[in-house]
Structure 1
Amino acid sequence: METYEFKQARAVWIKTEENKAVYNQFAGFYTELNVKKAERITIEVAARSYYRLYINGSICADGPARTSKGYCRVDEIMKEITAEETGKITVALEVLAIDKPEKYSNDCTLEPGMLVVEICGEDGRVLSATGTKAWRGKNLKYRRLLVETMSHSRGITEWYDLNEKSRSWIAGQPGELQDMEETVHVKDEPVYLKRRAPYPTYRVHMFDGLQRVTDRKTAPEIDPGMVITLSKMMNREWYGQIPEENYFLEAVCKEKDAPFTGIYRREKKKKEYQKDVMTTEASSGENDFSMVWSRRESELGFIEFTVNTESTCVIDMVNSDHVTLKGEVKGNTYVTRYCLEKGTYHLTTMEPKLTRYVKLIFRTNGKVKVEDPKILEYTYPDENTGWFECDDGDLNRIYDASRKTLRLNTLDIFMDCPQRERGGWLCDSQFTSYGAWQMFGDLSVEKDFIENFMLTDPDEMEHAFFPEVYPGSKKDPGDPGIENWSFWLITELADYYDRSGDNSFVEACRGRVSRFIEGVLSRRGESGLLEGLNTLFVDWSLSNRDFCLKPISIPNNCLAVHMLEQAYWLYGVEEWKKAAGEMREIIEKLDEMPGIFGGGGDGAVYQNGQLRRTDCATESGAALELWSGFHKNDRRYIRRFVDSMGYSPRFRPDPNVGRSNLFIGLMIRFSVLAKMGEIDALVREMKDLYLSEMRIGSGTLFENYSGFSGCHGFNAAAGAFLTNYVLGLGEPKQRTKTIRISPNPRNLFWAAGRARCEDGEITMNWNADHVTHELEINLQMPKGWKAEYHIPFALTAWKIRVNGEQLKK
């Protein structure tokens, strides 16, 4: 790990009552600088949970880059101070420290509040540092903290009680800083780490326009939804502390649209130095009312808007990436509530929101005037490094959607989804990482992601396994959750090494990996396979039923074998190779027994000294076994897998074999089809699945078949597959400086693309003449790189030229 050292700054927090449990805190910190000349200053910030940094009252940055318990990554934010801005510079931070009695979160470690800031000039001199008297802080009382959670695994919803002066301290308004107090030093400072991941963008995304204005009516028959039920079930102790008046999400979810009975008008407003903006002035009729703005596709970021209200007003802001089958923006749990006194407010959410639609619900007796909202993008800064295009517009659309899905789920870590959890799940990351390297040409996020897991304490975790999702927190800190998720971390580490050649990092992980594999091997039972694992996962389908997973899961044992083989490849430990060989032999003997599909079902039992498979087979189990290197020479098994399974099989599927869902069975299937060279089947199934998702219109790819399952990052692999196996520009291997070239024209006339490695860009394009059977390839690589050609069988008789020269097959 790369540690980070501050010159002077110390970690601080606001004063709190001792021996009193405080589960959420919202704190403000403030200082002033005297900058005498135009220069670039560097603001180094580390915090737990979330912070927002303001310079002279304007948003400058959000963070932090998340990491492991006991550690903090340091953000380095550059700010140009112009000659006009010299003099007094105000610096303010809002910092949220999230905690819950259940200690359950998927996106942060729920550690106590902490902030450290050091501001340096161009010459490295320290201009200001926390831990000195120049910094003051206070408890911010305008955000309610005893409120409902956004989801079962996230923090609290945003609820603000504001007047026009509530937040004026941020800009250092005279008279608004008197209640600031000296900060106190944090007792146990974390270990500070360097942030490798790039910093997010703040591009502005406008809505296409106001879609509708409607009244709100309560509809008791509406089901508030599983998210609320799950949140209450998983956070019982927390929900028991919330006062009745702070419950509001279920009421929002039970509202429906009704014809507007009030009055509204739209007008264009001139703004200096900005484009004209549209404003809507409205007053209610018989009921509360709402306004909905929409976009053609979803975006992720902070929603901001300006509103004037002539009397007290409650605004509930609902964001969503989909509508109901009736076209309504249904209430959900991602509501931001603003309770406003009369006045004018410029409001920006502190949480990033996945938004295609935003609905502002106004509860007031007076008139309101609101400017059209906008989104400040808070995602990975995609620079269009990687690229794929061909003459099939549907494939281009799938690539673009995959790339967008990756961007929305990539920031400081790989996230499974950008709003419901924002958690870094293993297994998801195995497939997300394919896209990140192929499309972004960047390994920094993946390295930080893997390091977070490697920094977990093996003595704290049961059997030294890794957490299923991290940064995160559980009441039982030793519970890894889904145990086979840890296997995917080692396979991803091996892929990372092949992509990067970063031997020093792999060696730094040796000790933690060794402890984990020691724990894995301790779980081998009398059968010689892993037995009695607590929580397992294959796919959101029949494959996840206990009769497929227990007492012995053959697909997950296959994954364990592959993981051990990859670990041996990384570290050369003979014991791991021996164990993998023994387990592989046991599983392969099983497949010699008669059964309905190969050797039988996903599960197995060991009785009277004999191991046998049970009789429930699934497509996802078969995919995982093939992905792990089993059945490679069983042609019958492979043909049934290719032709009679999947989302759109060529032949009628076997009714005795459980079908796959998208997460994660179909993605494993896509990976297997790609590696086996079954590109026709891969493309057909990707089109059938993803184009139906894209017709829903959010522009992203989902966890399951339905748009209600939301944007999920593992679909980044789809874009990588198109580049790798249709264009044929393989994943760059920095370790060996090689790239696999395997074009698959199928019925395409041309394709082109680009990838990046540490030595520069790799570009490739080809055009195919299906009459003369000629393929012209143009390939450019950095000096020292070598192409390895793997020409598919379909091109055996073709004339292939690379950069004008005949390719020797």
Structure 2
Amino acid sequence: MNLKTFVITILSLLITVSVKGNDFLFNEVSSFVKAKPIWPEGNEKKQNMTVSFRRVFHVKSIESANLKIAASTDYRAYVNGKFLAHGPCVAAHDYYRIDSYEITNLLKPGDNIVSIEVSGYNTPSYYLLDQPSFLQAEVVAGNKVITASGTSDDFSAYILNQRKPDVPRFSFQRPFTEYYILSSDYNQWMTDASWNKGQPVSCAIQPEKKLLPRGVPYPDYSILRSSQISDSLYVFTSNSTGFIGLSVKVKKPSKITLFFDELLSNNDVNYKRLGTESYIVYDLQPGDYTLETFEPYTLKYLKTKIEGEGDILMTYMRSYVNSDVHRAEFESNDVGLNFLFETARETFRQNALDIFMDCPSRERAGWLCDSYFSARVAFDLSGYTWIEHNFLQNFLLPDTFKDIPHGMLPMCYPSDHPNNNFIPNWAMWFVLELEEYAKRSTDKVMIEALKPKVYDLIEYFKPFKNKDGLLEKLDKWVFVEWSAANSFVQDVNYPSNMLYAGMLDAAGNIYNDSSLKKEAEKVRKVIRKQSFDGQFFSDNAVRKNGKLEVQRNNQTEVCQYYAFYFNVATPELYPELWQRLLNEFGPKRKINNPYPSIHFANAFIGNYLRLEILSRYGHIRQLMNESLDEYLIMAKTTGTLWENMTTVASCNHGFASHIAHVFYRDILGVKNILPNIKKIEIKFTDTDLKSCKGKIPVGPEYVTLEWVKKDNVISYSLNIPEGYEVTIENASNCSLHKQ
């Protein structure tokens, strides 16, 4: 057994052990008994091909039965015509995760039908990998394999041509739109055991696959109902993610098109707002239909267009979201804070299905940097690091990443990057996240296994270091944030170097490497000397005639936040700048702007870094008020939190759920939960609140904290998991009384 195989085996065992303490989430398997991967012969690389697999089997009595599935690219499973699941759970290139479903309660005495639709996209995307199509599935009842792909008890495969293959992409980041051509008997192949209209196609056994356990909880598939607000317009309670459903009665051959978006633009649905083709088409013959999209989408508003004659009886959504977020609780006497917390929870669960996605609409991609913030929320809401484990494991598994230089990490993954693009900054955030993962997990195996990738990344940056020790002329997409800062990245970009120092520090802390920490401090000293002009830090320096010239007109708000977040600046080192940022920046600068030459920060990531800095230096009342000022309008508009401060981009972005972590840490007062050393840190701070209470899962247990403030006394009750110690800091202006 080689080292990589050993590491994967250990990681798989760790997952299996970790789920024993929870009784509701998932059934882990890492292999099949008999099933082999199959696909219609010679078509495994055919683009946008949908194959319908089914197996009819007879049972005399109901016993425990499971359906196990691995597939590429996407599948949807039914038992006796009833929806079971959508998948798979994503994995790194050349690896596939197995889903295992308990189907006992869907079986009946007599004939039963297991049907699985698989769409093989075979196209590069940020969402699903461009890999040959296959299905590997089996039904096991007790110790008996009832049916297994690639055996004598195989599934039958049909090409029903119900989904049109020659259609546009949904977006640059996702594969194809959905266009269906259906007759009223469209679903008989999955509901009628005697169905014989289709002609089975011959399948070939595909190369053996590298299989992994699923590793994360199964989705929440709850049904959401819409409300009709006009003849053709429907609205959901909030921005929602899942499979769009409708019931329709068609009287004459008709074409029905569904358009959707997260909000209304000029009182209409702009289905191209996100640079997407947000529509679904159904060509229907007369009959009654209940239809659901194959792919998940995100929307609040749905518009229908009927060409022909038919009636929409109902529209709905089958959710496709994280199921493990509801054990956590937060409540204060401020209804705005409570609403914002619940909005953050809703945003997170739509963006954290099996990895940390940036958005569940345009991309569904696992972006670094976004994941740094989302991972904190995942631990707060679930008490586990299962999703983060999968997310990091996906980066661990490949020996190399296709289409990008050795040592560099993909900006999002699992994803395809045939245009050779990457964001060097985002790879640095990976190391920062890994440092925090080491503290919130006990996963020393993962930390050690990723050490070569961390040091390869550090080696990658060495050729870009100039004589001052700063990174210069970084390759590809140098990304600071969605603001003017991204226009000031030429040659030496100071925010990138501030982040670089933070990465070196993090790697030094993880692997006890003092040389990296010394280098980080040298980088910070050079930045202080070059970038600061007496008032503000400048964003970049351009090399002209061999000499660096700092661009004093290129100054952004986010650059100042990078400086403080990565300890280039502190209130002690730069007291005047700190007071300017504290008192003259933030939401108030939009009304009265004394520094028009300093370009505004955006939500991602400048304004969130601002909250982190306010937290670090104890300005909690201001943090709370700015959170309400900036983000409550988002919560009220879409019920989710946005990528930008305006609606020009995604209105449902995973990193933005970080506000939930901020509220637990800074308002409730649970500063840190550190499973690696079994320690909990409580810090009471100065706010205008009268009361606050929260419940934070820690594995199967909880940290519960409740406090009431009256007459300059904070009376509190605290319960912590067994085996943990607690430290309590009082940074409020009140005395403490433990109840």
**What TM-score comes out, normalization by structure 2 length?**
0.91
C-alpha distance in structure 1 between counterparts of 2:533 and 2:290, whole Å:
70
Task: Give the corresponding residue for 1:342.
Answer: 286
Structure 1 counterpart of 2:684, one-letter code: P
Is structure 2 residue 483 aligned with structure 1 residue 541? yes
Distance change (3 Å), C-alpha of 1:575 and 1:9: farther
Distance change (3 Å), C-alpha of 1:35 and 1:520: farther
Trace 1:399-798 onto structure 2 (pairs within 5 A).
399-458=341-400, 460=402, 461-476=404-419, 479-534=420-475, 535-545=477-487, 548-590=488-530, 594-597=533-536, 600-605=537-542, 613-615=550-552, 616-632=554-570, 633-634=572-573, 635-649=575-589, 652-696=593-637, 698-709=638-649, 710-758=651-699, 760-769=701-710, 772-792=711-731, 794-795=732-733, 798=734
> Shift of the alpha carbon at 1:405?
0.6
C-alpha distance in structure 2 between counterparts of 1:413 and 1:91, whole Å:
28
> Shift of the alpha carbon at 1:606?
5.4
Task: Give the corresponding residue for 1:73.
Answer: 97
Q: Residues 508-558 of structure 1: CA distance to partner in whole angstroms, max 9, x if unpaired?
A: 22222222222123332333111221221111111110xx21101111111
C-alpha distance in structure 2 between counterparts of 1:529 and 1:378, whole Å:
44
Residues 679, 726 of structure 1: 8 Å contact kept: yes
Task: Give the corresponding residue for 2:735.
Answer: 799
Q: Residues 26-60 of structure 1: CA distance to partner in whole angstroms, max 9, x if unpaired?
A: 11112223333222212111112210011112111
Residue 114 of structure 2, aligned match among 88, 91, 98: 91
Structure 2 counterpart of 1:205, one-letter code: L
Q: Secondary structure at the match of 1:695?
A: helix
Task: Give the corresponding residue for 1:200.
Answer: 219
> Shift of the alpha carbon at 1:789?
2.1
Residues 325, 349 of structure 2: 8 Å contact kept: no
Residues 458, 512 of structure 1: 8 Å contact kept: no
C-alpha distance in structure 2 between counterparts of 1:744 and 1:574, whole Å:
34
Q: Secondary structure at the match of 1:181?
A: coil
Residue 53 of structure 1, aligned match among 77, 80, 88: 77
Trace 1:119-268 onto structure 2 (pairs within 5 A).
119-122=139-142, 124-133=143-152, 134-176=154-196, 178-187=198-207, 189-207=208-226, 209-213=227-231
Q: Secondary structure at the match of 1:370?
A: strand
> Shift of the alpha carbon at 1:625?
2.0
Residue 50 of structure 2, aligned match among 15, 26, 31: 26
> Shift of the alpha carbon at 1:487?
0.6
Residues 52, 157 of structure 2: 8 Å contact kept: yes
Residues 727, 745 of structure 1: 8 Å contact kept: no
Task: Give the corresponding residue for 1:107.
Answer: 127
> Shift of the alpha carbon at 1:609?
8.0
Distance change (3 Å), C-alpha of 1:375 and 1:746: same
Structure 2 counterpart of 1:357, one-letter code: Y
C-alpha distance in structure 1 between counterparts of 2:254 and 2:294, whole Å:
20
Distance change (3 Å), C-alpha of 1:139 and 1:579: farther
Unaligned 5+ residue runs, structure 2? Answer: 1-7, 13-29
Task: Give the corresponding residue for 1:219.
Answer: none
Residues 168, 176 of structure 1: 8 Å contact kept: no
Residues 559, 624 of structure 1: 8 Å contact kept: yes
C-alpha distance in structure 1 between counterparts of 2:437 and 2:58, whole Å:
46
Structure 1 counterpart of 2:291, one-letter code: L
C-alpha distance in structure 2 between counterparts of 1:503 and 1:457, whole Å:
20
Structure 2 counterpart of 1:87, one-letter code: G
> Shift of the alpha carbon at 1:459?
6.3
Task: Give the corresponding residue for 2:317.
Answer: 375
> Shift of the alpha carbon at 1:728?
0.7
Residues 466, 480 of structure 1: 8 Å contact kept: no
Task: Give the corresponding residue for 1:276.
Answer: none
Q: Secondary structure at the match of 2:505?
A: helix
> Shift of the alpha carbon at 1:17?
5.7
Structure 2 counterpart of 1:424, one-letter code: G
C-alpha distance in structure 2 between counterparts of 1:302 and 1:731, whole Å:
37
Deviates more, 1:87-96 or 1:174-183: 174-183
Q: Secondary structure at the match of 2:31?
A: coil
Residues 558, 625 of structure 1: 8 Å contact kept: yes
**What TM-score comes out, normalization by structure 1 length?**
0.83
Task: Give the corresponding residue for 2:38.
Answer: 12
Q: Secondary structure at the match of 1:141?
A: coil
Q: Secondary structure at the match of 2:92?
A: coil
C-alpha distance in structure 2 between counterparts of 1:29 and 1:502, whole Å:
39
Q: Secondary structure at the match of 2:708?
A: strand
Deviates more, 1:661-670 or 1:610-619: 610-619
> Shift of the alpha carbon at 1:651?
7.3
Q: Secondary structure at the match of 2:671?
A: coil
Residues 52, 117 of structure 2: 8 Å contact kept: yes
Structure 2 counterpart of 1:554, one-letter code: Y
> Shift of the alpha carbon at 1:210?
2.0
Q: Residues 156-203 of structure 1: CA distance to partner in whole angstroms, max 9, x if unpaired?
A: 11100011233321224434354113321113x331111111100111
CA RMSD across the alignment: 2.1
Q: Residues 252-303 of structure 1: CA distance to partner in whole angstroms, max 9, x if unpaired?
A: xxxxxxxxxxxxxxxxxxxxxxxxxxxxxxxxxxxxxxx2222332221112
Task: Give the corresponding residue for 1:234.
Answer: none
Residues 458, 516 of structure 1: 8 Å contact kept: no
Residues 525, 568 of structure 2: 8 Å contact kept: no
Distance change (3 Å), C-alpha of 1:17 and 1:397: closer
Identical aligned pairs, as a percentage? 28
> Shift of the alpha carbon at 1:574?
4.6
Structure 1 counterpart of 2:35, one-letter code: A
Residues 160, 198 of structure 2: 8 Å contact kept: no
Deviates more, 1:420-429 or 1:620-629: 620-629
> Shift of the alpha carbon at 1:718?
0.6
Residues 620, 686 of structure 2: 8 Å contact kept: no
Residues 302, 349 of structure 1: 8 Å contact kept: yes
C-alpha distance in structure 2 between counterparts of 1:595 and 1:579, whole Å:
25
Q: Secondary structure at the match of 1:732?
A: strand
Q: Secondary structure at the match of 1:706?
A: coil
Distance change (3 Å), C-alpha of 1:608 and 1:307: closer
> Shift of the alpha carbon at 1:81?
3.9
Deviates more, 1:603-612 or 1:620-629: 603-612
Q: Secondary structure at the match of 2:568?
A: coil
C-alpha distance in structure 2 between counterparts of 1:33 and 1:578, whole Å:
67
Distance change (3 Å), C-alpha of 1:14 and 1:584: same
Q: Secondary structure at the match of 2:478?
A: coil
